[in-house]
Amino acid sequence: MDAKTYPVTRTDAEWRAMLTPEQYQVMRHHGTERPGSCALLHEKRAGTFTCAGCDQPLFESKLKFESGTGWPSFNDPVEGSVENTVDRSYGMTRTEVHCANCGSHLGHVFPDGPPPTGLRYCINGVALNFEPSA
């Protein structure tokens, strides 16, 4: 993981104990879940998507859209909830998105989304929990 210190920190053993093996691979080792494999892809209720690693609110359901990619997609995150870094893996340059609170890898952001932002935050569903609105 990054050398940066985040407000929520855990040892590798603590991350392994709290996350499923798939979550651990995606969130702590920059993996990617299989497209179309997460139930949150089809979540349409009002509510908030939070980080599976620290419960920080990340995305509001009103900014979720169907991108056809197989991963949950959003226009914009909750202000201050995510940070971006340059990802040069797999022979390409992309913008990685990670939780600003615990540093967990969430996915990537691309400049091909719908208005109003034109952004598509393509997020691994296993990195998210969903809290429906009351």
Catalytic residues: 122
Question: Residue 27 gets which letter from DSSP?
Answer: H
Residue 69 phi/psi, 5-degree rounding, is: -90, -20
| Cα distance between residue 80 and residue 68, in whole Å | 27
Amino acid at the residue 10: R
| Cα distance between residue 24 and residue 126, in whole Å | 9
